[in-house]
Amino acid sequence: MTAAPAGRRRLFVAVLVDTVGAGAFFPLTFLYLSETTDIPLARLGLVITVASLVGLPVTPLIGQLVDRFGAQRVLVAQTVVAAAGFSFYFHVTGLGVLVCGVALVTLSDRMYWATWPVFVGEQVGEEGLDRWYSTVNMVKSASLAAGGALGAAALATGGTDGLRVMLAVNIASSLIAGALFLSVRGGQGTRAAVPRGGWPALLRDGRYLQLTFANTLLTFGWLIPSLVLPLYVARYTVLAVWVAASALTVKMVLAAVLQSLVTARLGVLRRTTTAIVGAGFFLVAIVLLACASAVTGTAAAVALVFGGVVFLALGETAAGPAASSLSVAAAPPAWRGRYVAVFQMSWSISNIGGPAIAGALLATSALAVWQVFAAFAGGAAIVLFLLHQRFPAEIDEKTPPRAKTARQSAPA
């Protein structure tokens, strides 16, 4: 059973509200904590990093909770945990309060990404996965851009007080989104019993582990605009660092604008093939960005950087929805929560390891940076190509064969 149209509208509104709030405050978290506490910057960074590492092994447990209680309940609980965690940030008087806040925020982030794909799958069914993931990605990108602009305006006009207002907005948006998620009717709902053997079955599922590995390699492409580009532009090109900041904003806007177009143009391809195309876009972006350090003219460097950003956006819009829908379609329905939770750990691995890898490479040379990131994208394409040979059509095709047959046999 899928959600009714009214329920799907609530789902979209919930995504919009939740993501605008997160976009308005989350990128400014480190700045807010540094401005409102006496905790040294190095210690702040260490606490956040340790919290991220501690949260990593919790993800499989969240998947098990999704299988037991249903994605909707866990997703609603996530919004409450997020609101509680961010509430601690109003009263950070020492490391104890900070650790509690960061731990809860990190836990909510793990809960969200382990639960969200399953929840969408429960609401729209197998046939609508790719279209819905694409549409939701478009809404998220637009909301993040709007939230980022709102946060920047609050910081410019209100300083620290403006940051506190954005923190309150973020907390309120989480709770409102939770109420909206709770109001959505339809979907799979709660399971009374879950078959045994989910974890052993997952560990024996070589195709799914291969898919998770491919996605881990792919996710490093998402780190390039925010993690690699600012330092690369400042250190290895003739451009000012504000160009990288502008490029990041352009990338978010393009990801929202191009998503529906890319989805439509690649709609006839299988999911693995679509993800391979996305990896190819990342490779083109890497080549363009690498060339920016070899030119001495400002206009040429700007053109190469923004050209690279266009292909980064294309890579995200092609690979992201295809990989997400494949992760849900390839998971057994009874154990979908734990399967998808393990798949989502690929994002945690790159987010945790990415800063160390990028820092070491940027300290070495521009060539080293792009060689390694090209290896990530190229490796992902190779693994996905091998998966293309292994996944059957009913998993890899975007429209299940039975749905195609029904449409073809319907009277004109």
The CATH number covering residue 128 comes to 1.20.1250.20
Alpha helical stretches, state H, 184-205: 198-204
Domain count, the chain: 2
Residues 132 and 248 in one domain: no
Question: CB–CB of 221/44 below 8 Å?
Answer: no
Q: Is residue 271 part of a domain?
A: yes
Q: Helices 95-124 and 129-183: crossing angle, nearest 10°?
A: 120
* Among 152, 181, 210, residue at a domain's last position: 181
Please state, in angstroms and rounded to a whole number, the distance separating the CA atoms of residues 290 and 278: 18
Residues 281 and 144 in one domain: no
Nearest Cα residue to 136 out of 36, 16, 313, 278:
16
Q: What is the DSSP string of 345-376?
A: HHHHHHHHHHHHHHHHHHHH-HHHHHHHHHHH
Residues 221 and 258 in one domain: yes
* Among 181, 212, 232, residue at a domain's last position: 181
Count helices and strands in the chain by DSSP H and E runs: 17, 0
Residues 96 and 209 in one domain: no
Residues 123 and 12 in one domain: yes
State the pLDDT at residue 190: 46
pLDDT tens-place string over residues 280-317: 999 999 999 999 999 999 999 999 999 999 999 999 99
Residues 212 and 153 in one domain: no
Q: Is residue 278 part of a domain?
A: yes
Long-range contacts of 144-148 (CB under 8 A, 24+ apart): 144/19, 144/20, 144/22, 144/23, 144/252, 145/23, 145/249, 145/252, 145/253, 145/256, 146/20, 146/23, 147/19, 147/20, 147/21, 147/22, 147/23, 147/24, 147/25, 148/23, 148/24, 148/27, 148/249, 148/252
Question: CB–CB of 182/72 below 8 Å?
Answer: yes
Residues 6+ apart with CB under 8 A from 344: 59, 113, 114, 117, 327
State the pLDDT at residue 43: 79
Residue 27 belongs to domain spanning:
5-181
State the pLDDT at residue 411: 34
Residues 169 and 250 in one domain: no
Q: Is residue 186 part of a domain?
A: no
- Token readout for 294 is 């070899």
Helix, coil or strand: residue 17: helix
In this prediction, the residues of the chain whose per-residue pLDDT falls under 50 are 1, 189-190, 401-412
* Among 181, 214, 238, residue at a domain's last position: 181
Residues 213 and 161 in one domain: no
Question: CB–CB of 48/40 below 8 Å?
Answer: no
Residues 334 and 207 in one domain: yes
Residues 241 and 277 in one domain: yes
